[in-house]
């Protein structure tokens, strides 16, 4: 990874941050809600996840012991608004079972585990992919791991920082070797990339007015 790339990523961060300011992702929620949200959010809009979490809150199920003890069929009813609720029930139950088995339902103990080790452990839980694991570590544990998503890959590719076939771990490594290991910085950077992706760097790019337009970029002809 070149010095040039590191500098470019830092400048991109600063450009987005001065355009949009701090994003304050997941500020008011508890680590428990963040973890549940990270598991439920796969392939659905966040507002649906919020409705599922509201259901869980209303019946007192934002509680790891109760989540362990509830029957999967009953849990599925509460998280129905999050979509594909049978799959998500299985994933949530798999996480909860592992969490009790490994950490006896103690979040502090879990997040006191060395980051790389905990990440590997999370990835071994059925249904927890890389983006979910990193979201749990960063947003619930406040541990410095970079969360990569499709927006991140698209923006970096259009700015010729990565190849089209760069994988999750390569992109994550690029950020982590370019920036200081700072959870707040990683949090803000990811949130800003999502903002850029939602507003400008859509399948059809809207570069005009994008804070990243000042950096060299190339849009493939079928994107225009």
Per CB under 6 A, residues contacting ligand SF4 are 155, 158-159, 196, 200-201, 205-207, 210, 212-213, 217, 219
In the numeric block, which tokens belong to residue 209? 């007015």
Q: Which residue has the tokens 């502090």?
A: 108
Smallest separation, CB 54 to ligand SF4 (Å): 34
Residues 6+ apart with CB under 8 A from 215: 8, 11, 12, 15, 159
d(CA 178, CA 175): 5
Which residue, 112 or 219, has its beta carbon nearer to ligand SF4? 219
Residues 6+ apart with CB under 8 A from 211: 15, 16, 18, 19, 20, 196
Smallest separation, CB 205 to ligand SF4 (Å): 4
Which residue, 167 or 218, has its beta carbon nearer to ligand SF4? 218
Helix, strand, coil fractions of the chain, as percent rounded to 5: 65, 0, 35
Q: How many residues make up the chain in this entry?
A: 224
Give me Rg for the CA atoms of the chain. Answer: 19
Angle, vertex CA 170, rays to CA 159 and CA 34, nearest 5? 95
Smallest separation, CB 8 to ligand SF4 (Å): 12
Which residue, 137 or 212, has its beta carbon nearer to ligand SF4? 212
Smallest separation, CB 224 to ligand SF4 (Å): 11
Smallest separation, CB 190 to ligand SF4 (Å): 14
Smallest separation, CB 185 to ligand SF4 (Å): 19
**How far does CA 4 lie from the centroid of its chain?**
26
Which residue, 66 or 159, has its beta carbon nearer to ligand SF4? 159
Which residue, 73 or 222, has its beta carbon nearer to ligand SF4? 222
Which residue, 79 or 155, has its beta carbon nearer to ligand SF4? 155
């Amino acid at each position: 990874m070149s010095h040039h790339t590191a500098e470019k990523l830092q400048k991109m961060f600063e450009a987005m941050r001065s355009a949009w300011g701090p994003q304050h992702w997941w500020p008011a929620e508890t680590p428990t809600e963040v973890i549940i949200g990270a598991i439920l959010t796969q392939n659905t809009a966040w507002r649906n996840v919020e409705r599922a979490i509201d259901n869980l809150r209303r019946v007192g199920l934002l509680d790891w012991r109760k989540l362990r003890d509830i029957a999967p069929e009953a849990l599925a009813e509460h998280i129905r608004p999050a979509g594909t609720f049978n799959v998500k029930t299985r994933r949530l139950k798999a996480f909860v079972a592992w969490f009790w088995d490994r950490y006896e339902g103690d979040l502090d103990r879990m997040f006191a585990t060395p980051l790389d080790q905990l990440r590997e452990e999370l990835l071994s839980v059925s249904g927890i992919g890389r983006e979910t694991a990193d979201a749990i570590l960063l947003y619930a544990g406040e541990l410095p791991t970079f969360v990569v998503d499709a927006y991140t890959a698209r923006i970096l590719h259009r700015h010729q920082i990565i190849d089209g076939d760069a994988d999750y771990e390569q992109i994550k490594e690029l950020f982590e070797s370019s920036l200081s290991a700072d959870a707040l910085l990683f949090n803000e950077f990811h949130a800003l990339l999502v903002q850029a992706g939602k507003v400008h760097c859509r399948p059809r790019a809207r570069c005009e007015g994008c804070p990243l337009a000042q950096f060299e970029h190339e849009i493939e002809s079928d994107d225009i």
